[in-house]
Chain A
Amino acid sequence: AQSVTQLDSQVPVFEEAPVELRCNYSSSVSVYLFWYVQYPNQGLQLLLKYLSGSTLVKGINGFEAEFNKSQTSFHLRKPSVHISDTAEYFCAVSALRGGADGLTFGKGTHLIIQP
């Protein structure tokens, strides 16, 4: 079984400050990891993904994440946040289920950008 833990339900940050959103995973097989962002009243948008190779993954909107196998973590970072980054962020792990790539999501982290 696979699971994802996002320890922080809410992270307040001042505009232009750096931010890190934490994600830890549990898996007995090879992992594929994702970060999705959800803006109010919208669906989920893929920020970035780790499948294999380089442990530092760059995504859209200036976000990046680092896969750490020994710590079973996949933390999301941005060096300088903007008001428009206010949203819900979900970490997810993929598993082959029923011939498709089913996602299991963490509980989400609400990123609040303060002016």
Chain B
Amino acid sequence: DTEVTQTPKHLVMGMTNKKSLKCEQHMGHRAMYWYKQKAKKPPELMFVYSYEKLSINESVPSRFSPECPNSSLLNLHLHALQPEDSALYLCASSQGGQGKGSPLHFGNGTRLTVT
């Protein structure tokens, strides 16, 4: 069982839809992440929140909009996506920064298909 919970597990959306991915952790972690993983590729970092503030945006298109309502929740709002955005979206959390090498804990992901 994973300690990071992602919903929904699967999502199919059209290019004009608006949808949201949700992530929740109750480990008291203060850093949360969104990664995108295409088939047979490693995860690629999209966003990092540290202490509920957006600290890294890896030049992600504005059709992806992250939100961190509180220290336990992380959302990814999707709007006007393209078919090439179809991928597995992974949420992760870690204890926090200071460069101590805290391991990331991953959820099982949301499999997104854009039609």
Using a CB–CB distance below 8 Å, which chain A residues touch chain B? 32, 34, 36, 41-46, 49, 51, 90, 94-108
A-B contacts counted at CB < 8 A amount to: 88
Query: What CA separation (Å) do A98 and B53 show in the bound complex?
Result: 10
Residues in B with CB closer than 8 Å to A104 are 45
10 sampled A-B residue pairs with Cβ under 8 A? A96-B98, A98-B48, A99-B31, A99-B50, A99-B97, A99-B98, A100-B33, A101-B103, A104-B45, A105-B43
Q: Which residue of A lies closest to B93 (CB)?
A: A100
Residues in A with CB closer than 8 Å to B112 are none
- The interface residues of chain A, by DSSP majority, are classed as strand
Q: Which residue of A lies closest to B90 (CB)?
A: A43
Q: Which residue of A lies closest to B102 (CB)?
A: A101
Query: What CA separation (Å) do A45 and B107 show in the bound complex?
Result: 9
Query: What CA separation (Å) do A1 and B47 show in the bound complex?
Result: 18
CB distance from B31 to the nearest CB of A (A): 4
Q: A108 contacts B103, CB within 8 Å?
A: no
Q: B42 contacts A108, CB within 8 Å?
A: yes
Q: B103 contacts A34, CB within 8 Å?
A: yes
